[in-house]
Amino acid sequence: MRPEQLEMLKNLQALEFAALEFGLYLDTHPADQRALNEFSRLAQEAEQCLRTYEAYYGPLSMEASTDNQGCWQWLEHPWPWEIEY
């Protein structure tokens, strides 16, 4: 995996982790507007990062392989346990 690809993947993972943490916090603090705004921002940023990553490097999930450009791309990339961090 190229360094720029790994950096983008780690950034995506960090964004998704932060959004998940805010989501869990909001389960117990549903009226916290600041947390809700931050969750929304993180979720949108993660979605954009995911789209960019998949446009450059291919799908991260089988569901993303629906625009398969004439072939099933899911198998063309390393499996999660094959990625060198």
The pLDDT assigned to 34 comes to 98
| Residue of higher predicted confidence among 43 and 76 | 43
Tell me the C-alpha to C-alpha distance, in Å, between residue 82 and each of 27, 60, 85.
Answer: 35, 13, 9
Domain edges within the chain: 3-82
The alpha carbon of 83 is separated from its chain's Cα centroid by a whole number of angstroms, namely 15
The pLDDT assigned to 25 comes to 97
Average pLDDT, the chain: 88
pLDDT tens digits, residue range 15-54?
999 999 999 999 999 999 999 999 999 999 999 999 999 9
pTM: 0.79
Task: Tell me the chain's radius of gyration from C-alpha atoms.
Answer: 15
